[in-house]
Structure formats: structure tokens, C-alpha cells
Amino acid sequence: MKGTKYWTWHMAAGLVLLFLLGLHMLIMHTGGFARWFAPHGDAADSPVNSLFRDSKLFFTVTYVLMLVAALYHGFYGLRTMLLELTLKPVTEKTITVVLLIVGLGLCGLGTWAALTAHAIALAGARG
């Protein structure tokens, strides 16, 4: 049932991403809606607006959630495509391990960045 387990989580991650990435796209690409999440000036991705969002726990948590979901969904999809090429079992195992390591590494990097940025933003907010 391992295949079923990984695929079910792939679908669940896709559903989670639909909402979180959709929200992310709305924030980054639409001015009016973004006012709630980008109160300083027009550009939602300006450093000051980025810092504003980084200071909110809601964003730190959702960034990490989005990171985990997107990495799992994306790397599982890539692994599926690669494993359909009738490779030797050793090669398949290597691909799985490499993708796992790279995925965990990127997850670690992104989580560290989100937490650090949150701390910096809070420290900056306190003055």
C-alpha cells in the first residue's frame, strides 16, 4: 500500500497548494486584494511589504506549509516521471534518495529562512 500512501499525500498536497499558492498568486499579483497583506505602497513584493508579512506568524506558518506541500508534490511528480523510464532498480533507488536529500535540504533552507526572517521582522518591529 506504499504506492497508495504516497499518491494520496501527493493529491492532498496538490489540494493544499491550490489554496495556498492561489492565495500567494493573488497577494503577489493583484494590487487591491494585496492591500491587506501589503499595506506599504503598490508593490506587494517590495522589501518593506515582505518584512510586514514576515512579521506575521500566519505568514511564517503558511510559508512553511506551502514549502513542504510544494516540495513533496513537485518532487514526487518528478520522481514519478523519472521512474517511468524503465531504469535499473539501482538507478531508481539512487533517484529516490537524491530527490529526498535535495527536497529535505531545500525544505530546511526555506524553513530556516522563514523563521529567521520572522525573527528579524519582529525585532525590527520592536525597534
CB of 126 to other proteins, least distance (A): 17
- Buried/exposed code over 45-75 (b: 16+ C-beta within 10 A; e: otherwise): eeeebbbbbbbeeebbebbbebbbbbbbbbb
Residue 94 touches other proteins, criterion: CB under 8 A:
no
How near is the Cβ of 102 to other proteins at its closest, in Å? Answer: 8
Phi/psi region, residue 41 (left: phi>0; alpha: psi -120 to 50; beta: rest), is left
The correct pick among 84, 90, 126, 127 for binding other proteins (CB under 8 A) is: 84
For other proteins, the closer CB: 31 or 39: 31
**Residue 8 is a binding residue for other proteins (CB under 8 A):** yes
**27: Cβ–Cβ under 8 A, 6 or more apart, which residues?**
33, 34, 37, 38, 44
CA distance 29 to 36: 13
Give the binding site for other proteins (CB under 8 A).
1-8, 11, 14-15, 17-18, 21-22, 25, 29-31, 43, 45-47, 50, 54, 67, 70-71, 74-75, 77-78, 80-81, 83-86, 106, 109-110, 112-113, 116-117, 120
